[in-house]
Amino acid sequence: MKNTIKICIGLLAIGLVSCEVEFDNPVNSEGFYDSGTANLSTYVAVGNSLTAGYADGALYITGQENSYPNIMAQQFAKAGGGDFTQPLMNDNIGGLLLNGTQVAENRYILAVDENGNPGPVRLVGTPTTDVATSAAGPFNNMGVPGAKSFHLGVSGYGALNPWFARFQTSASATVLGDAVSMSPSFFSLWIGNNDILAYATSGGLGVDQTGNLDPTTYGFNDITDPNVFAASYSAQVDALMATSSGGVLLNIPDVTSIPYFTTVPARSIPLDAATAGALNAQFALYNTQVLPGLAQAGIISADEAAARQINFSAGVNFPIMTDDDLTDLSGILQGPPFFLPAATAALLGQLRQANNNDLVVLTAASVLGSTPDPGNPQGVIGVSIPVGDQYVLTAVEQGRVAIAAASYNATIQAIADANGLAFVDAKSALAQVASTGVPYDAGMLTSAFVTGGAFSLDGVHPTPRGYAYTANLIIKAINRKYDATIPYVNIGTYGTIQASNN
């Protein structure tokens, strides 16, 4: 009898294990989330470093896992989406080798120095990802760091860009061709950032190529001609649409939204009254005689003469800087009536003091106020040595960037509208992060460097949380356009910056 009961209970147990708890409406049941009119079975993301999941000045596995396309693909999977492959790096060190030689730097980490101050430093370690031994594509994530709009169609682009060489399908492959070969059923395209960003992050070192329709003559730091952008972009959308049920296009954010340009204040040189007085004495003649004289002679405008005045005071001052948009006076100053020595003339040639309209780049932080020659304590950058042009994006340079970006964005919006594609106004969204911040369940996402949560330690690329926010923006646009109900992600559950000492 006892055994009979045991057997009964055993049988019961077998029956019970299959009695799993079932919700009335389980989120993991088919049809709970819906992709609407979009077919998400083969999603292909095309773009640059932002699409690749680049962060902290490097590409590494956990960054890629938190790329916005990968975050989206995980949500797509809940609404019938298919697998999503990425050209994963080999480690979390970042850095890239080309036949054993390092061609890209390791990631930044937030390290605490001996004085207890946290700051970004490069992770020490030997990268293990080699271009030569990486798996060939194509992958669903076709984000290529460094790619500009017109690069995507360049045959043999891998020879110019090791990030693409890593996973190009052949030596003559194009990024776009490899993406199209996946036969995407749905695509996203976010390209054009580097067409202005390279110019901006170089402090305007490059050339505004507006009017030059031959991109093969461009340098990397140049601004792409808007017509070149439009032609490239239009061709890419056409190619990606061939097999797709739909897609989403993202526009180009303002450079003023990113901490690379908003962290280091233009006014950054502390001086006491005595030093300020001594410096002013040195510039007195220049301010009161030379500049008004040049203006009177018509060599420079009265406005430029005013802009070139150098004045220090006790407290925090604007640094002196070289501005290549000023009239170059170095030759004139060596001639009559000034007869300045060549070195002084060169110093003053395109000199002015920075002002509140200038954007000082993040990398200037370690340069401003430093003494590059230990033997000359008087040689202070920003005080007696002008800050290099590459560290300051002037108002004039910002204007060029803004004009080009506005034109690109008009193109993107028009192409989205013309083709009935979902459109994400990334520009406005990032501007909101930078101005008011975006609330999430445990705080506010802002673009403040290190602490804001949106931007990684390179000051340009988002954190996982920033990418998650981007993914939500895109999902929202897709849901609206395609009558889909793809779930959002909770951005509070995505990480920000990585604290670690070497």
Partner 1 sequence: MKKVLLLAVFALATAITYAGGYRVSLQGQKSLAMGHTGVAVINSSELVFFNPAGLVHLENKLNISAGVSGVFANVSYQNENFGDYAETDNSTSTPLYFYASYQANDWLAFGLGVYTPYGSSVTYEDDWAGSHLVNNIELQAIFIQPTVSFKIGEYLSFGGGPIYATGSVNFNRNLNRTLTDLDGNRSNVTIDATGINEWGWTVGAMFRPTEELTIGANYRSKIDMNVEDGDATFENIPNSPLTPFEDTTFDASLPLPAEITVGLSYQFCEKWLFAFDVNRVFWDAYESLDIDFANENIPDSKNARNYKNASTFRFGIQYDATKMFTLRAGYYFDESPVQDGYFAPETPRNDSNGYTAGLTVNVGDHFEVDASFLYLHFKEVDASYDYYFENGQAAPFGGTYKNNVFVPGLGVTYKM
Closer by beta carbon to partner 1, 61 or else 207: 61
Q: Which stretch binds partner 1 (CB under 8 A): 18-26, 223-231, 237-245, 274-282?
A: 18-26
16 forms part of the interface with partner 1 (CB under 8 A):
yes
- Residue 124 Cβ, how far from partner 1 at the closest point, in Å? 11
Q: What are phi and psi of 33, to 5 degrees?
A: -105, 150
Which of 12, 274 has the CB closer to partner 1?
12
Which region, left, alpha or beta, applies to residue 190 given φ > 0 means left and ψ of -120 to 50 means alpha?
beta
Among 26, 265, 331, 372, binds partner 1 (CB under 8 A): 26
User: Between 73 and 112, how does the x/- string for binding to partner 1 read (CB under 8 A)?
Assistant: --x--x-------------x----------------xxxx
The answer to whether the Cα torsion of 27, 30, 35, 40 is positive or negative is positive
| 498 is a contact residue toward partner 1 (CB under 8 A) | yes
Which CA distances in Å does 124 have to 116, 203, 285, 454?
A: 19, 28, 50, 24
Nearer to partner 1 (CB atom), residue 272 or residue 441 = 441
What is d(CA 245, CA 484) in angstroms, rounded to the nearest whole number? 13
Phi-psi region of 439 (alpha: psi -120 to 50; beta: other; left: phi over 0): beta
502 vs 43: CA distance, rounded Å: 38
Output 111 or 438, the one with its CB closest to partner 1: 111
Determine the angle formed by the axes of helices 464-482 and 426-435, rounding to 10 degrees.
140
Indicate whether 3 belongs to the interface with partner 1 (CB under 8 A). Answer: yes
For residues 433 and 445, the answer to whether their CB atoms sit within 8 Å is yes
Interatomic CA distance for residues 192 and 409, integer angstroms: 9
Closest CA to 46 of 244, 242, 189, 231: 189
Task: Give the whole-angstrom CA distance, residue 443 versus residue 472.
Answer: 17
Among 17-25, 191-199, 344-352, 409-417, which window interacts with partner 1 (CB under 8 A)? 17-25
In the list 61, 241, 307, 403, the residue contacting partner 1 (rule: CB under 8 A) is: 61
- Is residue 245 within 8 A of residue 37, CB to CB? The reply is yes
CA-derived radius of gyration, the chain? 27
| Least distance between partner 1 and beta carbon 21 (Å) | 4
Smallest gap from residue 190 Cβ to partner 1 (A): 23
The count of other CB atoms within 10 Å of the CB of residue 156 is 14
Residue 273 CB, nearest approach to partner 1 (Å): 38
Under rule CB under 8 A, residue 124 binds partner 1:
no
386 prior amide bond cis, ω within 30: no
Separation CA 168–CA 159 (nearest Å): 10
**Count of H-run helices and E-run strands, the chain:** 17, 17
Name the phi and psi angles at 357, rounded to 5: -85, -10
Closer CB to partner 1, residue 19 or residue 274? 19
Least distance CB 365 / partner 1 (angstroms): 20
331-370: contacts with partner 1 (CB under 8 A): none
Which range in 24-32, 150-158, 300-308, 388-396 contacts partner 1 by CB under 8 A?
A: 24-32
3 state SS for 197-219? HHHHHCCCCCCECCCCCCHHHCC
Residue 435 binding partner 1, by CB under 8 A: no
SS3 content of the chain, % helix, strand, coil (to 5): 40, 15, 45
Comparison of 90 and 334: residue with beta carbon closer to partner 1: 90
Candidates 7-15, 36-44, 192-200, 246-254: pick the segment binding partner 1 (CB under 8 A).
7-15
Q: From 322-330, 346-354, 391-399, 494-502, give the range in contact with partner 1 by CB under 8 A.
A: 494-502
Residue with tokens 């003023």: 256
Query: Is residue 30 a contact residue for partner 1 (CB under 8 A)?
Result: no
Which CB sits closer to partner 1, 111 or 460? 111
The answer to the question of residue 454 lying near partner 1 (CB under 8 A) is no
Q: Name the residue nearer to partner 1 (CB basis): 118 or 156.
A: 118
Distance of closest approach, residue 250 Cβ to partner 1, in angstroms: 22
Q: How far is the CB of 100 from partner 1 (least distance, A)?
A: 23
20 binds partner 1 (CB under 8 A): yes
- Number of amino acids touching partner 1 (CB under 8 A): 57
Instruction: Compute the Cα dihedral for 201, 202, 203, 208 and give only its sign.
Output: negative
Which of residues 12, 242, 274, 281 is near partner 1 by CB under 8 A? Answer: 12
Q: Which is nearer to partner 1, 52 or 333 (CB)?
A: 52
Task: Quote the least distance from Cβ 451 to partner 1, whole Å.
Answer: 10
Instruction: Rule CB under 8 A: choose which of 17, 242, 274, 343 binds partner 1.
Output: 17
The single-letter DSSP state of residue 55 is B
Taking the complex as a whole, how short is the minimal distance between the CB of residue 344 and partner 1, in angstroms?
48
Contact 319, 387 (CB under 8 A): yes
Site string (208-247) toward partner 1, x via CB under 8 A: ----------------------------------------
Note whether 230 and 393 are within 8 A (CB): no
Residues that bind partner 1 (CB under 8 A): 1-3, 5-14, 16-17, 19-28, 32-33, 61-62, 65, 75, 78, 92, 109-112, 116, 118, 123, 441-443, 465, 487-490, 492-496, 498-501
